[in-house]
Chains A and B, each alone.
Chain A
Amino acid sequence: MTTLDHLRNRDAVLRMSELEAEQRAAVVDPDDERMIINMGPQHPSTHGVLRVTMELQGETVLRSKPIIGYLHTGMEKTAEDLTFLQGPTNVTRMDYAAPLFTELTFSLAVEALLEIELPERATWIRMLMCELNRMSSHLLFLATNGMDLGAVGMMIYGWREREEILRFFEKVTGLRMNHNYIRPGGVAADLSDGWREDIQDILNVLPKRLEQFDVLMTGQPIWRERTQGIGVITTDEALALGATGPILRSTGYAWDLRRAMPYLAYDEVDFDIVVGTYGDTFDRYAIRLNEIRESMRIVEQCLERMPEGPYRVQDRKVTPPPRARIDESMEALIHHFKIFTEGFKVPPGEVYTAVESPRGELGCYLVSDGGPKPQRMHIRAPSFANLQTLPHMMHGGFLADAIAVISSIDPIMGEVDR
């Protein structure tokens, strides 16, 4: 039997309109023990505004369907009204736990259309910041995952660690979230003074804290009971449903774009891909915990190998002149003004770029018509595709485990609904 037949026969997705579900919920049939319940969109464990309708038989979840769109922001429409330079401001608000990645994929797409080469330092700064962001995103996951399953202490600890990284971000980018730091042509600013010491501090403090997490969660029998063997998915199913990131890796398939199709300078750094064995909730938790350690390895190498040089391309077409030049030269002033009002023109064409975000493959499909604004900008959001695995993971499990499964997908609704 192929995966496809298997997925179809299992009948895990509740394909039912909202109206029908409501009507079904109202009718009480004494012979039919199944009932339809609704969870969300305002529910503490749905990571925002996810809504799930579930068909239950007693405590067992039969079919279910995630209902999304409660955070639909029309960002793809807004993107058509912003210039390429303003674009990152918009896309960074999609995945708000890992904003730098959406900026990165968008910038890579613009650069691919422009066919410009980045200076080395810009590449490495991007890599450094992204890996730090991956750490903070996974810490956020650990915190919320813990809280969803009743380990409330984890909430406090995860956030404490995340705060260390955010402080560094604030220093470099000026904001704690939604940085708008990675822009077409490089990054917005050079690293702040004393960045090496700041990062070293983070690298010194985190390993010890991660060991504490191991004591608090990984080895703890209650935690294992709640997560092991829950929400199992196989490699074939994950691939058929388009799931990527930790969900795919938890099934034992080592697919990581950083390794498979390297971008930036990932082919020059040394790191391991963490994979699971069983494809269950525990594996997904463990993968993310250990990916923090791998990211720390990359950050260490960035510290060692950070090259000197300009942090954005020296192409006058896309880069505004340095601040000091504006005071001296009229041309520089005009140039600066034009870049920020009109924007730069991008040659016509279309391109798709993808990066490995903490949640999976994050892609950007960009079409330019030769003007300063995109004709079409589409973000392939990993959470959007990953959410489709939800009914299949919850199928046949207990209602209480549904929370664990939702949490282990780690959906960021801003990215799902865009």
Chain B
Amino acid sequence: MPDLSDIKHKLGLGDEGLAGLGHNIITAPIEELVKWARRRSLMPATFGLACCAIEMMATGTAHYDMARYGMETFRASPRQADLMIVAGRVSQKMAPVLRQIYDQMMEPKWVISMGVCASSGGMFNNYAIVQGVDQVVPVDVYAPGCPPGPETLLHAILALHEKIRTGELTQRRDATGRGAEIELGHEHAPDAQPEPVIIRTGGLYE
């Protein structure tokens, strides 16, 4: 067993305990430090939409304990949040609202698309649901499942942590041009209006 004083010495604590830290210097790239800080205290906005929201709430409570990542404070105001977990299906009516809330969040901000509905429309390939929330906001991590269990959401959060740790510090949306493919101001893009089809006979789009 290594000597305790040896460890202390290696850590540079000397014999004074934590008081000895005063005359210590840690060198690290400031970038790493910022990323570390960002990663450790993500604050999610409550953006529960549908069934997935129930699982998101379950993740926040005692059994799965999101508090272990410093994330238990779901913020009601988008101004105080830096992570948006889109939990559930996004309807055509909700999409503009979602975008507005995303815009109200402060940079830096991230988005987790939780569930197949948010990621791709899921089983609801119809007129009402936006086929993937990435048409409205840029998405960082997709969590699959219907609903994704709390474990899946936790895994997505870990993936996001990793992404923040290894990613660009100042990489912003414009650089990649992702997301926001839906024209805002219209609830539904005018060119997406199909000709009315007279009676379906089989497939989805005739």
Binding site for B on A (CB under 8 A): 41-44, 48-49, 69-75, 77-78, 81, 89-90, 93, 96-97, 140, 155-156, 159-160, 162-163, 176-178, 413-414, 417
Cα A270 to Cα B50 with chains together (Å):
35
In the assembled complex, which residues on chain B have CB atoms less than 8 Å from the CB atom of A140? Answer: 54
In the complex, chain B residues whose CB is within 8 Å of the CB of A75: 124
* Contact residues of B between 23 and 62, Cβ < 8 Å to A: 46-51, 53-55, 57-58, 61-62
B126 is contacted by which of A41, A74, A97 (Cβ under 8 Å)? A74
B119 is an interface residue with CB less than 8 A from chain A = no
Asked if residues A71 and B76 are in contact (CB atoms below 8 Å), the reply is no
Contact A44 B76 (CB under 8 A): yes
**Could you say which residues of chain B place their CB within 8 Å of the CB of A160?**
61-63
Chain B, range 66-113, C-beta contacts under 8 Å to A: 74, 76, 78, 88-89, 91-94, 97, 101
Q: In the complex, which residues of chain B have a beta carbon less than 8 angstroms from the beta carbon of A155? A: 61
Chain B residues engaging chain A, CB cutoff 8 angstroms: 46-51, 53-55, 57-58, 61-63, 74, 76, 78, 88-89, 91-94, 97, 101, 123-129, 146-147, 149, 200, 204
Report yes or no: A42 in contact with B101, Cβ–Cβ below 8 A. yes
Residue of B nearest to A77 (CB): B126
Structural contact, A73 and B89, CB atoms closer than 8 A: yes
Given contacts A48-B50, A70-B94, A417-B91, 15 further A-B contacts (CB under 8 A): A41-B97, A42-B46, A42-B78, A44-B46, A44-B74, A44-B76, A70-B93, A74-B126, A75-B124, A77-B127, A78-B125, A96-B54, A140-B54, A177-B55, A414-B50
**A44-B46, A156-B62, A163-B63 known; A74+B127 contact, CB < 8 A:** yes
Q: Can you identify 11 A-B contacts, CB atoms within 8 angstroms? A: A41-B94, A42-B47, A42-B78, A48-B50, A69-B91, A69-B93, A71-B49, A73-B126, A74-B129, A177-B51, A414-B50
Is A156 a contact of B126 with CB atoms below 8 Å?
no
- Which chain B residue shows the least CB distance to A69? B93
Q: Which residues of A contact B55 (CB under 8 A)?
A: 176-177
Measured between alpha carbons, how far is A77 from B97 in the docked complex, in Å?
Answer: 24
Question: Chain A contacts of B123 at CB under 8 A?
Answer: 78, 89-90, 93
Whether A177 pairs with B147 at a CB distance below 8 angstroms is: yes
What is the CA–CA distance of A413 and B49 in the complex, to the nearest angstrom? Answer: 8
Q: Is the CB of B94 within 8 A of A176?
A: no
A89 contact set on B, CB distance < 8 A: 123
* Cβ contact within 8 Å between A96 and B63: no
Least Cβ–Cβ distance between A96 and chain B, in angstroms? 4
Closest to B75 in A: A44
In the complex, residue of chain B having the shortest beta-carbon distance to the beta carbon of A75:
B124
Chain A residue nearest to B149 (CB atoms) is A176
Question: Which residues from A are CB-within-8-Å of B46?
Answer: 42, 44
Residue of A nearest to B46 (CB): A44
Q: Known: A70-B93, A71-B91, A163-B63. Is A78-B54 also a contact (CB below 8 A)?
A: no
CB atoms of B54 and A156 under 8 A apart: no
- B136 CB to closest chain A CB (Å) equals 14
Write out the residue numbers on chain B whose beta carbons fall within 8 Å of the beta carbon of A162.
58
Chain B nearest CB from A91 CB (Å) reads 12
CB-based contact B51/A73 at 8 Å: no
Name A71's contact: one of B94, B101, B126 (CB within 8 Å): B94
Docked complex Cα distance between A359 and B101 (Å): 31
Set of chain A residues within 8 Å of B97, measured between Cβ atoms: 41-42, 70
Taking a contact as CB atoms under 8 Å apart, the answer to whether B128 and A176 are in contact is no
- Residues of the A chain whose Cβ atoms lie less than 8 Å from the Cβ of B93: 69-70, 72
A41 — which chain B residues lie within 8 A by C-beta?
A: 94, 97
CA distance in complex: A69, B129 (Å): 12
| CB pair A74 B124 closer than 8 Å | yes
On whether the beta carbons of A48 and B53 are closer than 8 Å, the reply is: yes
> 6 closest Cβ contacts across the A-B interface?
A74-B128, A96-B51, A159-B61, A74-B126, A44-B76, A70-B94
Write the chain B residue with the least CB distance to A78.
B126
Contacting residues, chain B, for A43 (C-beta < 8 A): 76
Min CB distance A310 to B, Å, is 29
| Nearest CB of A to B10, in Å | 41
Given contacts A43-B76, A160-B62, A176-B149, contact A72 B54 (CB under 8 A): no
Which residue of chain B is the closest to A92 with respect to CB atoms?
B51
Instruction: Report the minimum CB–CB distance from A170 to chain B (whole Å).
Output: 9
CA distance A96 to B147 in the complex (A): 10
Q: Are A71 and B89 in contact (CB under 8 A)?
A: yes
